[in-house]
Amino acid sequence: MLCGPTSTLPEKIGEELKVLGVEIIDVSIKKWIAMPRWGVERVREFAADLLVSTHRGCDIRVGLLARRLRLPHVIVVRSDPAADDRRVKPKLLWLRNFLWRRVMRRASAVIAVSEYVKRSIVRYGLATEGKVSVCYNFISPKVFTFASKEKTGFHSPVRRLAVGRLEPEKRPFDFPQLLRILREKGLEVAGRWVGDGSLGRKMRGEIERTGLRGVV
């Protein structure tokens, strides 16, 4: 069972996941930390084998629920844990972090989407380095069928634009690698990254290393 805020999910993803035997439940914390009775009953009816939470506000609630129902709980952390500290009232921040730390330590597994996020979790004191594993988001070119430019109507080359800071959490080095893969597949592409940051010099070096000078 995947637990998290459903407002950001694609419209029909729930139907598609049900075919795979995955249920989605919205457990965003609004007023109460404890899971309401309807939520507990829904989890029991689904007979979940595993609870997965992917959002800061849901980890605590799902962790408490997993402990209550004696189910394994996997936490997937997608961004810097301290990113939303400013939006939390100072009087509540210590309580959230206290509960979050307990839930992290009790979880069956904690997965970070990058080494940067893993280091942030450890630095923030939520879990030890040995507790956190890394599983990158990825795009497999095998799932795409590359149409010819005659079919797509694109002018050559296809241009890709990225806007953002050149910082570790943005994973900017994936951008030239993606363009390199597309070009190896026979698609003529060019890219431009608009932004600057601490990785600016390394980014230019990566472009040179991958032979994409003049392309990115």
Q: Concatenate the DSSP letters of all residues of 177-215 into one string.
A: HHHHHHHHTT--EEEEEE---TTHHHHHHHHHHTT-TTT
In whole numbers, what is the pLDDT of the chain averaged over residues?
A: 76
pLDDT at 31: 46
52 touches 74 (CB < 8 A): yes
Does a structural domain hold residue 215? Answer: no
Q: Which residues pair with 79 in a beta bridge?
A: none
Residue 179's CB is within 10 A of a number of other CB atoms, namely: 22
Assess whether 180 and 102 both reside in one domain.
no
Q: What is the pLDDT of residues 3-14, one digit of tens each?
A: 555 554 545 555
Assess whether 177 and 147 both reside in one domain.
yes
Which residues constitute the domain of residue 94?
2-134
Average pLDDT of the residues in 107-124: 88
Assess whether 109 and 148 both reside in one domain.
no
Q: Please tell me the total count of domains within the chain.
A: 2
- Read off the CATH number of the domain in which 97 is found: 3.40.50.2000
Average pLDDT of the residues in 125-140: 81
Assess whether 108 and 179 both reside in one domain.
no
As a whole number of angstroms, the distance between CA 91 and CA 154 comes to 54
> Is residue 159 scored above 60 in pLDDT?
yes
Does a structural domain hold residue 180? Answer: yes
Assess whether 121 and 161 both reside in one domain.
no
